[in-house]
Amino acid sequence: MPLKWDQSLATGIREIDLQHQELIGLINELERAQLAVSGNGGDAAGRAALAEVLPRLSSYVLFHFGTEESMMETLPGRPPHVEKHLQEHRRFAERVAALKGREVAPEELAAFVDYLKRWIVEHIQRTDRELSTFIL
Ligand SMILES: [Fe+2]
């Protein structure tokens, strides 16, 4: 089922909320492509969509993390939140990078999409919300 951005995912920081909406759109695109390649061995259009969306998603993730990380740099006294938040971003970026430039089996892709959907909701609701308490 596609993810839907609603107030339960709001951080109150407009720029971040807009980027999260974009990110969720990309995750949904990835899921659509994943479903298209996993049915009946997949079709060429599904594989092409996948090859196109995966790099787009991974660059957008890096761009988005960059936005949040620049905000963190402005926080006085570097609260412990910053290290924890950076670490979550790093771990996630590694997981995304591990899929790049190689053939990904349908089961691995399905597991990745699941992970992505769970990660984004949890990360926004806990970590990005916590960041917003320092910014707002
Ligand atoms: Fe974040």
**pLDDT at site 103:** 84
**pLDDT at site 40:** 65
What is the span of the domain harbouring residue 12? 7-135
Residue 37 lies in a domain: yes
Residue 101 lies in a domain: yes
Which tokens sit at 2?
């596609």
Distance CA 55, CA 97 (A): 9
Residue 13 lies in a domain: yes
Residue 45 lies in a domain: yes
CATH number of the domain where residue 86 is located: 1.20.120.50
**pLDDT at site 49:** 87
Residue 119 lies in a domain: yes
Dist. CA 20 → ligand 1 center (Å)? 10
pLDDT 10s digits, 3-26:
999 999 999 999 999 999 999 999
Distance CA 96, CA 119 (A): 12
Query: How many domains does the structure of the chain reveal?
Result: 1
Compute and round to an integer the Cα radius of gyration of the chain: 16
Using a CB cutoff of 5 Å, list residues around ligand 1, an ion.
68, 128
**pLDDT at site 68:** 98
Is residue 125 within 8 Å of residue 9, measured between CB atoms? yes
Residue 1 lies in a domain: no
Dist. CA 38 → ligand 1 center (Å)? 30
Residue 120 lies in a domain: yes
**pLDDT at site 24:** 98
Residues of the chain with pLDDT under 50: none
Residue 129 lies in a domain: yes
Dist. CA 124 → ligand 1 center (Å)? 7
Dist. CA 118 → ligand 1 center (Å)? 14
**pLDDT at site 43:** 75
Is residue 29 within 8 Å of residue 53, measured between CB atoms? yes
Q: How many residues does the chain have?
A: 136
Distances in whole angstroms, Cα of residue 127 to Cα of each of 30, 96, 98, 102, 115: 24, 19, 23, 31, 16
